[in-house]
Every structure is written in structure tokens, then in C-alpha cells.
Amino acid sequence: MVDEIGVGHTPDADDAFMFYALENELIPMNNFKIVHHVEDIEKLNKRAINHELEITAISAHALAYLDKYTILMSGGSFGINYGPIIVTKEEKNSLEELSNGVVGIPGYLTSAYLLMTISLGKQVCKEFLFSDIPDAVFNNLVDYGLIIHESQITYKSQKLCKLFDLGEWWDKTSGGLPVPLGINVASNNLMNISRIRDFDELLKSSIQYSFDHLEEAIKFALKYGRGTEKSILTEFVKMYVNEFTLDMKIQGKDSISRLFDLAYEKGIIEKKVPLNYTK
């Protein structure tokens, strides 16, 4: 019997790279028929609250507001001493002035926002689609920008300056754990644990296929590159599809636990977050 399931992932090159083999059914599908829902991460975060999809990518932060989900070991986005960056238009702007301005953010449920709030406290923020944040800073719609994805590589070419590197801050704060940014979760309301584990292995196989067929997977991912040059897109994919994407291992689990412990200690989230994994 074939299980038709809805799977949410983002219109970003790293997700496209991971899902290349699944979207094109280049590997044995283990009796899954996947209906792909490609949406911005903040939309997927909000859809997860209502259990709209069997499997979905979410920001790690969003897990604090979800109930009855299992975390997959595969498909996570973890930085290795790099992560979201706060940028500004003027080099003279200092971190001390941050609270006097407005920060453009990619969403209140994103891990980038949580990391910023843990490290620098609550700020006055305005939400944008993540890809619009650099332009918003350049055009003075906001004073600062919390940037993610390929903007972390391209911000200098957009005449912006780095003010604070959350990846470096996390590395020092956590004692070298990877930066927890995105995870994949399965709804326990819509799938049983056995099939959740089957899908976890399927996604791992898809990621491994892309590693083994790098050039063709990168070529596929280019269609989600928003016009980004191939060299930059390849650099971005290699940053966020790494050893912890194939399997987050104990280091990935520890980083997620640390994220929520810090958020709870600082009163950013109101309760301890239960963390249930496929293994």
C-alpha cells in the first residue's frame, strides 16, 4: 500500500538539493507518494501549528509552539561556526545602538530571531520575506537586517556591513556545538512512528544521493537560487547541507536542547520543550 503524504520544504537551494532525488523519484520511494508543498519557512512554521502536513521543514525555534511532533534525524540545517548575521548600511553603526533602531527579520518563529533575542535581548522588529531584507536595509526601510540563507554570502556586494555574527556567538556560547537553524518534523497526528522512521531513512537516502551526484543536484537546486550565481549558490549549499544534515547525531540534539534551555532561562519561552526524535 502506497502512503500519499504532504511534505513541506522551502524554495531554497539547500532544501532543493536535499529533495532532488525525492522530487524526481531517483531512488526507491519505500511506498511513499509525496505531494510537495514548497513555501517560505515562516509559512511552514505556521502551517505546522495546525498539523496541515505529514512532514514539514520548520525553524528549530518553531518547535517551542508545536505539539505532538517527532523530529527527524535527517534534513536539518546546522551552521558550523557560522549562521545568521545582523547587518547595517552604515559602518559607523554600533551594536550598542541596535535597540534604538528597527531590525528587519525573516519571521518571529525563525531560529535566527530566537538566537538574536537570546544573545542581544528583544528588539523592535519588522517582518519581511527573508530575501527582501538586504534591500530593506539598503533602502532605509529598517536600520538593521537579520539575514539568513545566501544573503549571508552576498551582503557585502549589496553594500552592507556585518554588525554581529550569531554563528560565531553561538560557537562560543555553546562550546562548539553546531548552530541549530532548521529541522524536519513529522506529525504524530497524521503518521505512525514506524512510517515516520521510514521517511527519515528515505530523506537520508535522498541527501546521500545528492552528495553522490553533486553536479546534477546543484544544477537542479539552481532553479531555486533566485538568480544567484552558481558559485555562490554552491557555496551556500555546501554550508548548510553538511554532515549534520545527513544525520544530526548527538551534537545536533545537544544544540537543540541548548537552544531551548537558554530561551527558557531568559524567559523567552514559557515552558520546557519536549524533544522526541526518530532515534
**Residue 279, domain member (yes or no):** no
State whether 136 and 149 are in the same domain: yes
Q: Which amino acid is at 137?
A: V
CATH number at residue 166: 3.40.190.10
Strands (E) located in the chain: 3-9, 32-38, 55-59, 69-71, 77-79, 85-88, 103-105, 125-127, 144-147, 161-165, 179-187
Q: Give the count of domains, the chain.
A: 2
Tell which of 156, 174, 192 closes a domain. Answer: 174
Using the 3D structure, point to which of 118, 142, 174 is the last residue of a domain.
Answer: 174
* Residue 106 and residue 133 in one domain: yes
Give the three-class secondary structure for 113.
Answer: helix
Grouped pLDDT means (10 residues each) for the chain, 279 residues: 93 93 96 96 94 97 97 97 93 82 96 98 95 94 94 89 96 97 97 98 98 95 79 89 97 98 96 95
Claim to verify: residue 94 and residue 162 sit in the same structural domain: yes
Q: Domain range spanning residue 237? A: 3-77+179-265
Does one domain contain both 160 and 229?
Answer: no
End-of-domain residue from the set 174, 204, 223: 174
pTM of the model as a whole: 0.94
Residue type, 223: K
- Shared domain for 125 and 194, answered yes or no, is no
Q: Is residue 273 part of a domain?
A: no
Domain shared by 107 and 138, yes or no: yes
Q: In the prediction, which pLDDT does 168 show?
A: 96
φ, ψ for residue 16 (rounded to 5)? -60, -40
**End-to-end CA distance of the chain, in Å?**
25
Same domain, residue pair 158 and 89: yes
Q: State the DSSP code for 2.
A: P
Phi, then psi, of 3 in degrees rounded to 5: -95, 120
- Residue 48 CA to residue 60 CA, distance in Å, equals 12
Return the pLDDT at 92.
67
Residue 35, Cα to own-chain centre: how many angstroms?
Answer: 21
196, 164: one domain: no
Task: Report the pLDDT value the prediction gives residue 228, as an integer from 0 to 100.
Answer: 73
The answer to whether residue 232 sits within a structural domain is: yes
Hey, is 166 helix, strand or coil?
helix
Q: Are residues 220 and 259 both part of a single domain?
A: yes
What secondary structure letter does DSSP report for 273? P
| Statement to judge: residues 25 and 73 lie in one domain | yes
* Cα Rg of the chain (Å, integer): 18
pLDDT for 9 equals 95
